[in-house]
Amino acid sequence: MALTKQVSDSFELGPIRPPSEAYSLLIRVTRNCPWNRCKFCHTYKGEKFQLRSVEEIKQDILAAKTIQDGIKEASWKSGYGASVQEVARMILANPPNQAYYNVALWLYTGGESAFLQDANSLIMRTNELVEVIKFLKQTLPSINRVTSYARSKTAAKKNLEELKELHKAGLSRLHIGLESGYDPLLQYMDKGVTAAEHIEGGKKVVVSGISLCEYVVLGLGGKKMWREHAIQTARVLNEINPDFIRVRTLTIHDGMPLYNELKNGNFMQSTDEEILTEEKLFIEHLECQANYVSDHITNLLQEIEGKLPQDKPKMLASIERFQSLPPQERINFIVGRRVGMYVNLDDLADLRKHQAVEQIIHRLSQGSNQI
């Protein structure tokens, strides 16, 4: 396909990427979400889904290369030679635009990974996505890892040979929002997929050779469906056996359809302690061989991580350690986590932090909003 537009020194960026892709080069291959109905998500609400043309995507890849080449040239002229870290660091301190920031951060951290945005890149025609991935790796040969978001239903609709072709072209990993494996909850949240489709799509990805990361939303079942959510989500993941399970705790914001459900009483949100009880039940029912990752700030206990099944006792012990604390200490930790003072349970032993959190709790009890 001929490239007809002049190459720019900027390129389009989508709104989100997984935390694990923080240092990846971001290439937007679609705009927004083709489903965009989930009650618990507000990221793309009000935005129209669009497929970008292969030519348009290639222009962005070339723009990324232009920025990369400029940084490398500046490094040589500044006397740093092939080591671009110092020049990249200076750009990160004062980037001319977000595209420059993304490329500088990508180079600063090694320049080996790329993430294809937005919510479901797999919806592209397979031959076009293959063309994009090949062009990306040819244009920026330091890239040895290409990842993207996808929907289970879209993966289920692709035949296995298509997924294998994408893997051969260089697609390393797919991040899929499983959220839950409980059909009544999936239906209530308007997820647009069934547990059976989650299993079909996930298993196809695994068999194709593409690494699979499945995301679970802790607390999604609220007070009514938490038990079924935990048990059935574990059942579905046991069937899929993904490489990674990443958990996020439900947070509800204005702009989400679920916010209205919460306000009118149709949805009852679980407390932090109730969600830990749910997570404990979830982990107890997991029998797959995945890496369990709790790398999101919304999670109360980020130390609940490990390789299943061998690390399950250690993971459950972290939950039991919290649950065995006196009530006031549990409150102290929850508040300390939510205001950003604590990272893990060991921080409770830091007297200075502990006292600062107690002062916050006191002000909260007095009705102060100066927190």
Distance between CA atoms of residues 22 and 20, nearest Å: 6
CA atoms within 13 A on the CB side of 210: 33
Decide: 120 and 114 in contact? Cβ < 8 Å: no
Q: Is the pLDDT of residue 8 over 90?
A: no
Lookup: tokens for 281? 């039940």
Residue 283: how many CB atoms within 10 A of its CB?
A: 23
Alpha carbon distance, N-terminus to C-terminus of the chain: 56
Question: What is the SS3 assignment for the chain?
Answer: CCCCCCCCCCCCCCCCCCHHHCCCEEEECEECCCCCCCCCCCCCCCCCCEECCHHHHHHHHHHHHHHHHHHHHHHHHCCCCCCCHHHHHHHHHCCCCHHHHHHHHHHHCCCCEEEEECCCHHHCCHHHHHHHHHHHHHHCCCCCEEEEEECHHHHHHCCHHHHHHHHHHCEEEEEEEEECCCHHHHHHCCCCCCHHHHHHHHHHHHHHCCEEEEEEEECCCHHHHHHHHHHHHHHHHHHHCCCEEEEEECCCCCCCHHHHHHHCCCCCCCCHHHHHHHHHHHHHHCCCCCEEECCCCCCCCCCCCEECCCCHHHHHHHHHHHHCCCHHHHHHHHHHHHCCCCCCHHHHHCHHHHHHHHHHHHHHHCCCCCC
pLDDT category at 369 given cuts 50, 70, 90 is low
> Quick check: 3 pLDDT over 70?
no
Task: Map out the domains of the chain with their CATH numbers.
Answer: 1-150 (no CATH), 176-324 (3.30.750.200), 326-371 (no CATH)
Mean pLDDT of 189-218: 98
Q: What is the mean pLDDT of residues 196-206?
A: 99
pTM for the model stands at 0.91
Task: List pLDDT tens digits, range 172-195.
Answer: 999 999 999 999 999 999 999 999
pLDDT of residue 78: 85
Q: What is the pLDDT of residue 5?
A: 42
- The mean pLDDT of 166-170, rounded to a whole number, is 98
Report pLDDT digits (tens) over 235-273.
999 999 999 999 999 999 998 999 999 999 999 999 999
Tens digit of each residue's pLDDT (9 = 90 or more) over 309-350: 999 999 999 999 999 999 999 999 999 999 999 999 999 999
Contacts of 290 (CB under 8 A, 6+ apart): 214, 237, 241, 242, 243, 244, 245, 307, 308
What is the pLDDT, as a whole number, of residue 32?
Answer: 93
Task: Convert 317-327 to b/e letters by CB count within 10 Å (16 or more is b).
Answer: ebbeebeeeee
Q: Does the pLDDT of residue 2 top 60, yes or no?
A: no
As a whole number, mean pLDDT of residues 139-164 equals: 98
